[in-house]
């Protein structure tokens, strides 16, 4: 679940050699390279929940911003194309291991499961 969730946080290049992140379901490789397993339902549920993040901003979004800043600083010496790849990979890995995102998703899934069991 966390590998799938992490891939929705897509770093992108902005003008003036800056970078940003958006929640994206199309250009990030989701649905590719999963072997014979179909994760379409899990992808849809996770994406939907991330998009419905609580207001004010969910803690995992604050964490993502911190991961982005760290990744940008760590890749300053790279050319722009390689830098973007490294920033993306760093953010994916960080979000894959983000406990706030994990708890956010698990609480939704367990709550939904309880409501459907009754």
pLDDT band of 8, cuts 50, 70, 90:
very high
- As given in the structure block, the two tokens for residue 83 are 């830098």
Other CB atoms within a 10 A radius of the CB of residue 108 amount to 16
With respect to residue 84, please indicate whether it lies within any of the assigned structural domains: yes
* Report field, pTM of the whole predicted structure over 0.85: no
- 14 vs 20: CA distance, rounded Å: 7
Inform me whether the pLDDT recorded for 59 exceeds 60.
yes
pLDDT the model gives residue 114:
58
With respect to residue 71, please indicate whether it lies within any of the assigned structural domains: yes
- 2 vs 84: CA distance, rounded Å: 21
With respect to residue 4, please indicate whether it lies within any of the assigned structural domains: no
What are residue 22's DSSP bridge partners? 10
Inform me whether the pLDDT recorded for 62 exceeds 80.
yes
Domain boundaries, position 81: 57-118
With respect to residue 8, please indicate whether it lies within any of the assigned structural domains: no
Model confidence over 23-55: pLDDT tens digits? 988 656 555 555 678 888 999 999 999 988 766
Instruction: Say how many domains are in the chain.
Output: 1
With respect to residue 17, please indicate whether it lies within any of the assigned structural domains: no
In DSSP notation, the chain reads -HHHHHTTEEEEEETTTEEEEEE-SSSS-TTSS-TT---HHHHHHHHHHHHT--SS--HHHHHHHHHHHHHHHHTTTS-HHHHHHHHHHHHHHHHHT-HHHHHHHHHHHHHHHHHHH-
pLDDT the model gives residue 38:
86
With respect to residue 77, please indicate whether it lies within any of the assigned structural domains: yes
pLDDT band of 88, cuts 50, 70, 90:
very high
Mean pLDDT of 101-110: 91
pLDDT the model gives residue 61:
93
With respect to residue 19, please indicate whether it lies within any of the assigned structural domains: no
With respect to residue 65, please indicate whether it lies within any of the assigned structural domains: yes
């Amino acid at each position: 679940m966390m590998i799938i969730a992490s891939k929705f946080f897509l770093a992108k290049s902005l003008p003036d050699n800056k970078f940003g992140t958006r929640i994206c379901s199309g250009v990030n490789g989701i649905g590719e390279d999963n072997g014979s397993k179909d994760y379409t339902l899990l992808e849809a549920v996770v994406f939907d929940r991330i998009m419905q993040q609580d207001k004010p901003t969910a803690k995992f979004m604050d964490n993502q911003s911190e991961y982005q800043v760290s990744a940008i600083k760590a890749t300053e010496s790279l050319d722009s194309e390689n830098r973007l790849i490294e920033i993306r990979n760093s953010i994916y890995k960080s979000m894959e291991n983000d406990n706030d995102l994990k708890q956010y998703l698990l609480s939704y899934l367990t709550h939904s499961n309880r409501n459907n069991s009754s």
